[in-house]
């Protein structure tokens, strides 16, 4: 990489670190190219991104960002996973680490809060933003559904009582 490419890489990383609320750092040494492609595909499908960056350039890009606490984790062959959804990147990283022993989560940052391995894994257990939205819509719709059921229930009960009397009179005759 020449100097101009390095400046461009630092600027791109700085933009990522400035705009994304969550960054996960992991070691990837020993993974095959196919496994890395699988990780990137899983990340893309869940709305996250995975990037391998030179540690020195990443540390320079961290200056002045809220996730600067991950600088100490950038040692050895590391990659960063990030997303706009605070749960997507940890979910992808934790799921991939469960299936692949050579993928080791080192930690991360949620805004200005530094996360250790357990913090990243606990974030991975939370529901995603889309799941929370779905639950909220379900909660909002539930009272309307119950109200509709309650308004039709008395009429249904009355109809069953009338039918029972009609059947009783028909059987008696």
Are 9 and 58 in contact by the 8 Å Cβ rule? The answer is: no
Maximal C-alpha separation, the chain: 103
Residue 50's pLDDT is: 92
Average pLDDT over residues 157-169: 77
Model confidence pLDDT, tens digit, residues 7-52: 998 889 888 888 888 899 999 988 899 999 999 999 999 889 999 9
The mean pLDDT value for 118-133 works out to: 81
In this structure, the strands spanning 48-52 and 104-110 are: unpaired
Take residue 30 and report the two structure tokens written for it. 């020993």
Tens of pLDDT, residue by residue over 1-14, are: 788 888 998 889 88
Q: What is the pLDDT of residue 63?
A: 84
Stronger pLDDT, 52 or 163, i.e. the higher one: 52
Cα–Cα dist 85/128, whole Å: 7
| CA pair distance 123, 139, nearest whole angstrom | 23
* Dist. CA 170–CA 168, nearest whole Å: 5
Query: Per residue in 56-113, pLDDT tens?
Result: 988 888 888 888 888 888 888 989 999 988 888 899 999 999 988 889 999 888 888 8
């Amino acid at each position: 990489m020449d100097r101009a490419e390095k400046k461009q890489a630092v600027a791109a990383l700085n933009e990522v670190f400035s705009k994304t609320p969550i960054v996960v750092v992991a070691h990837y040494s020993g993974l095959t190219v196919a496994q890395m492609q699988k990780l990137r595909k899983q990340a893309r499908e869940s709305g996250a991104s995975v990037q391998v960056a030179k540690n020195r350039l990443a540390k320079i890009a961290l200056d002045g960002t809220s996730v600067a606490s991950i600088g100490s984790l950038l040692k050895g062959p590391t990659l960063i996973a990030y997303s706009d959804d605070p749960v997507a990147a940890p979910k992808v990283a934790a799921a991939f680490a469960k299936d692949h022993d050579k993928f080791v989560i080192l930690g991360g940052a949620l805004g200005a809060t530094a996360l250790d391995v357990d913090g990243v894994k606990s974030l991975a257990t939370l529901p995603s933003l889309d799941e929370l939205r779905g639950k909220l819509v379900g909660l909002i719709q539930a009272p309307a559904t119950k109200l509709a059921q309650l308004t039709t229930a008395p009429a249904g009960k009355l109809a069953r009582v009338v039918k029972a009397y009609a059947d009783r009179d028909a059987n008696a005759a």
